[in-house]
C-alpha cells in the first residue's frame, strides 16, 4: 500500500466483521469475541486463552516500521528508493518495541513485514543490528516494501525472488523465505509470504500440512486476509485485480494481475476452517485491525513507526476456551 495515505484509513476499516463487539483501540480495554474471548489493554497487549497449550506463551508482533536508511553503497538505486525515503521511521522505532519485548521476557519476536521501505544495505544493516543488540529469538516474513525498488522491471513475484536472494535471505535463518514454521512452547508458528497478494499452490499445501499436525497454530503474514467490508488491499478480496489496483503508478511497479491465483482463495478458506487456529497476525494496514471469520480471529498490528507493536499473551485453556 501507499504509505502516506494508508496511515489514515485503518481505523475506518477496523472491526467490520466482528459481531457483538465495539472496535478496540490500543489505549482502552475491551473484552471481545463471539468464539474465544480476548482483550486488549492500554499498551495493545492481547490476552487470549488457547486450548491445547501446556504453558503460557508470549510473543511480540511488529510490522511496518518503514526504515528508510540508505548510503553510497546503493547510489545506483537512488531513483528507486527516493520516494519511499521521504518517510523514514525514527532510528529507534524498532528498538522501542524490542526493549519492551525484552522486559517482558518474550518467547519470540515476529516481524510481519515492511520493517524496511526498500532493500538497501543500510536498511538491512540497521535492522540486523537492532535484532542482534536485542538478542531475542525472532522470526521474519517480508512485506511488499522489503523487496521493492520502485521502477525496477519485472513482476512483484520476480522482484521478491530477486531481492530475497540478493539481500533478505539471512533474515530467514535457514527457513524457506516463502513458507516455514517453528514450534514455540507448543505453538506452531507458520510464516507465509503473501506480500505480493497471491498465495502460491505450494504455500497452500504447506499450510494444510502444518495445520493437520494438530498443534495450536498461529499464522503470520504481511497482508491481512480479506473479510467482508475490508479494503482492496487485503488478501483474497474477490474484487482484487488489474482494474482495481490503486497504486501501481505511484509505486512504479507492474499493474496487478487480472485476478488472484485460485490458490489464494483456497488458502483463505483453509485458514478460516482451521479448528486449532490461534489467530492470523499481519501488518500492512498500519492501524490496529481486528476481525473474525467463523471462529478465526484476525489481528493486524499498528505501525511500528512510533515504536508500537502488539504483545500477545496466550494462556492454557479448557477445550471450551475458558482460562484454566
CB of 8 to Fe ion, least distance (A): 13
| Bridge partner list, 189 | 182, 218
Q: Which is nearer to Fe ion, 114 or 245 (CB)?
A: 114
Total residues contacting Fe ion by CB under 5 A comes to: 2
Judged by beta carbon, residue 114 or residue 210, the one nearer Fe ion is 114
Residue 142 neighbours by CB distance under 10 Å: 30
The footprint of Fe ion on residues 64-93 (CB under 5 A) is 64
Check: CB of residue 46 under 8 Å from CB of residue 40: yes
Give least dist CB 193 to Fe ion, A.
15
With respect to Fe ion, which residue has the nearer C-beta, 36 or 126? Answer: 126
| Nearest distance, CB of residue 205 and Fe ion, angstroms | 28
Least Å distance between CB 58 and Fe ion?
25
Taking a C-beta distance cutoff of 8 angstroms, is the pair 113, 146 a contact?
Answer: yes
Site for Fe ion in 99-118 (CB under 5 A): 114
Interaction mask 39-68, Fe ion, x per CB under 5 A: -------------------------x----
Residues 6+ apart with CB under 8 A from 262: none
Quick note: the x/- pattern for Fe ion over 207-246, rule CB under 5 A, is: ----------------------------------------
Residue 118 or 272: the one with the smaller Cβ distance to Fe ion is 118
Q: Cβ closer to Fe ion: 118 or 172?
A: 118
- Name the residue whose CB lies closest to Fe ion: 114
Question: What does the DSSP assignment read for 157-215?
Answer: HHHHHHHIIIIIGGGGTTS-TTEEEEEETTEEEEEE--TTS---HHHHHHHHHHHTT-S
- Alpha-carbon gap, residue 170 to 32, rounded angstroms: 38
Q: Quick one: cell of 158?
A: 520476480
Give the list of residues 6+ apart from residue 129 with CB closer than 8 angstroms, or none: none
The rounded distance, in Å, linking the Cα atoms of 143 and 148 is 9
Residue numbers of the site for Fe ion (CB under 5 A)?
Answer: 64, 114
Amino acid at each position: 500500500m501507499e504509505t502516506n495515505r494508508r496511515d489514515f484509513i485503518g481505523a475506518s476499516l477496523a472491526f467490520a466483521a466482528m459481531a457483538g463487539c465495539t472496535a478496540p483501540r490500543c489505549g482502552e480495554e475491551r473484552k471481545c469475541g463471539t468464539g474465544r474471548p480476548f482483550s486488549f489493554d492500554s499498551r495493545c497487549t492481547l490476552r487470549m486463552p488457547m486450548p491445547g497449550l501446556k504453558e503460557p506463551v508470549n510473543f511480540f508482533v511488529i510490522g511496518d516500521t518503514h526504515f528508510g536508511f540508505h548510503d553510497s553503497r546503493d547510489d545506483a538505486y537512488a531513483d528507486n528508493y527516493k520516494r519511499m525515503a521521504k518517510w523514514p521511521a525514527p532510528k529507534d522505532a524498532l528498538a522501542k518495541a524490542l526493549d519492551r519485548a525484552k522486559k517482558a521476557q518474550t518467547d519470540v519476536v515476529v516481524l510481519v513485514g515492511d520493517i524496511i521501505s526498500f532493500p538497501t544495505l543500510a536498511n538491512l544493516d540497521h535492522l540486523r543490528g537492532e535484532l542482534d543488540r536485542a538478542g531475542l529469538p525472532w522470526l521474519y516474513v517480508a512485506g511488499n516494501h522489503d523487496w521493492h525498488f520502485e521502477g525496477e522491471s519485472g513482476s512483484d513475484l520476480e522482484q521478491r525472488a530477486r531481492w530475497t536472494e540478493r539481500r533478505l535471505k539471512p533474515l530467514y535463518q535457514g527457513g524457506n523465505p516463502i513458507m516455514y514454521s517453528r514450534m514455540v512452547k507448543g505453538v506452531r508458528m507458520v510464516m507465509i509470504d503473501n506480500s505480493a497478494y497471491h498465495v502460491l499452490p505450494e504455500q497452500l499445501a504447506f499450510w494444510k500440512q502444518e495445520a493437520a499436525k494438530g498443534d495450536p497454530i498461529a499464522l503470520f503474514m504481511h497482508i491481512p486476509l480479506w473479510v467482508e467490508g475490508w479494503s482492496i488491499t487485503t488478501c483474497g478480496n474477490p474484487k482484487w485485480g488489474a482494474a482495481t489496483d490503486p497504486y501501481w503508478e505511484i509505486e512504479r511497479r507492474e499493474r496487478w494481475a487480472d485476478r488472484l491465483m485460485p490458490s489464494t482463495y483456497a488458502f483463505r478458506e483453509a485458514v478460516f476452517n482451521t479448528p486449532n487456529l490461534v489467530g492470523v497476525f499481519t501488518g500492512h494496514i498500519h492501524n490496529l485491525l481486528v476481525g473474525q471469520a467463523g471462529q478465526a480471529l484476525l489481528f493486524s498490528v499498528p505501525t511500528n513507526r512510533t515504536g508500537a507493536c502488539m504483545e500477545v499473551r496466550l494462556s492454557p485453556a479448557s477445550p471450551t476456551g475458558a482460562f484454566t
